[in-house]
Amino acid sequence: MAESKEKFPEVQGGGSLILAWQIKNKPVLVVGGGEVAAGRILNLLNADALVTVVCPAEGLNPEVRHRVAHKQVTHIDRKFEPSDLENLPSPDTSASPLGPPAMVLTAVDDPAASTQIWKLCKAARIPANIADVPPECDFYFGSVHRDGPLQIMVSTNGKGPRLAASIRKFIGQALPVGVGDAIERVGLLRAKLRELSPDIEDGPNRMRWMIRVSDRYSWNEMSDLTDEDMDNLLSYYKPKKVPDIDVLKAMRGGGMSAEDIDVFDGSFGFAI
């Protein structure tokens, strides 16, 4: 077979497959209650997971105690037992157990016990993360920048967590102010557009129009869009146009309608 003359990306081995793991309302087991466990628990709660912490009460640090006291997590006051991988209790004591955990995180100062938990997880085919032991991790926690719906993760694949934090801080400081607000407004606009044009076959048209909207307005203009602005903007969807931001502002309060304004949006270029 003749070799293709096309150029394709070179494979760079040694990386991780970075994914956004949807763990909402899924049971997760955390073994340990110290400082590292507290950080893991916060990450899980931010992702709306159902967290169970197995740790003797005297081993809980102040932050984890706070989570337990405010019923943000379910606490089992003892050391880990293999049966914990079979059925986790529901936060609602009157409800049925949650079943086996979707993932397990250990953060205890006992390497032998951690390795044993990892082996049990492997046998049960449950993804596990053993704190500070990269070879015994099915996944890593990176350093995350968070601004509302925006999440940016920096991973060094377990080689330099402190460096990952520095890089994450650098990226966060370089981002424009209001990025999270802009994304929230874009998400709301997309939801409104799906209501306006709900047919599945119209998906490509919706995507193309949203790309043009995202390219047309700055972050600040996006974050400043009012609900009225969005409704006025959506009136340009069927004509496949995207007005200038000043046009949307002129339409506020019913001052003008889309029919009153002849919008040139650069779609066809111009001639001199």
Q: In what order do the strands lie in the sheet with 128-130?
A: 74-76, 50-54, 27-31, 103-106, 128-130
Q: What is the pLDDT of residues 159-177, one digit of tens each?
A: 888 899 999 999 999 998 8
Confidence at 261, pLDDT banded by 50, 70, 90: low
pLDDT at 271 over 60: no
* Residue ranges of domains in the chain: 27-141, 142-175, 179-256
Q: For 254, phi and psi rounded to 5 degrees? A: 75, 20
At CA 92, angle to CA 65 and CA 44, rounded to 5?
A: 50
pTM recorded for the entire structure: 0.78
Interval 91-102 mean pLDDT: 92
For the purposes of burial, counting CB atoms within 10 Å of the CB of 41, is it exposed (0-12), middle (13-18) or buried (19 or more)? buried
Assign domain 179-256 to its CATH architecture.
Answer: Orthogonal Bundle (1.10)
pLDDT at 154 over 90: yes
Number of alpha carbons in the 13 Å side-chain half-sphere of residue 66: 10
State residue 2's pLDDT score.
Answer: 62
Q: Cα–Cα distance between 200 and 235 in angstroms, integer?
A: 20
Q: Is residue 110 annotated as part of the catalytic site, yes or no?
A: no
Q: What is the pLDDT of residues 33-91, one digit of tens each?
A: 999 999 999 999 999 999 999 999 999 999 999 999 999 999 999 999 999 999 999 99
Interval 261-267 mean pLDDT: 53
Is 142-175 the same fold as 27-141? no
State residue 272's pLDDT score.
Answer: 32
Assign domain 27-141 to its CATH architecture.
Answer: 3-Layer(aba) Sandwich (3.40)
CATH class of segment(s) 142-175:
alpha beta
- Of 77, 132, 147, 244, which residue is the catalytic one? 132
